[in-house]
Amino acid sequence: MKSAATAARRTPILVAIGANLPGPDGAPPLHTCQRAAVALDSLAGLRLVALSRWHRTAPDPPSDQPDYVNAVALLRGPADDPAALLAALHGIEASAGRRRSVANAARTLDLDLIAVGDLVRAAPDPVLPHPRAHLRDFVLLPLAEVAPDWVHPGLGRSVAALIAALAVRT
């Protein structure tokens, strides 16, 4: 039988990575996203165990913004404080020049905490799993690459079923 501490060290954590603007140093969005993946691996107690390929996606909702670069990272580690993890993600975003303005604005880096194990919570932040992850192909397609057996803990639906449902809607 595994101890609670062993189970906590192994909690799967899914983080979506995206950007569509150059970083403050002029780096292309892909480079900023690659640096973010390295930064995720350096967060205390967490290890990057898988990273999807990089996807190019149009802005959603459609706009005249540049296309995004998106991926999903699978981390493992302790998950006893999702709020602290979200704060760490926001710190990585800030170091990449992220400025929060209006919803769906272009950005130098976006790190979304998609899921922390089977945790379901409506409040406080972060809401888990991410409240719109199941509606976004730019999250689900790369997520399926790193966690093909993932089941949305709130909906009880597999990532494959969620992707199929998206295909029906479009």
For 30, phi and psi rounded to 5 degrees?
A: -60, -45
112 is catalytic: yes
98 is catalytic: yes
DSSP string, 46-77: -EEEEEPPPEEE--SS--SSPPEEEEEEEEEE
137 is catalytic: no
Beta strands in the chain (DSSP E): 11-19, 47-51, 55-57, 68-77, 110-116
100 is catalytic: no
CA distance 8 to 78: 5
Could you say which of 98, 136, 137, 157 is catalytic?
A: 98
- What is the CB-side half-sphere exposure of residue 68 using CA atoms within 13 A? 24
Could you say which of 110, 118, 132, 169 is catalytic?
A: 110
Could you say which of 25, 56, 99, 112 is catalytic?
A: 112
Could you say which of 60, 107, 137, 169 is catalytic?
A: 107
Known catalytic residues?
Answer: 98, 107, 110, 112
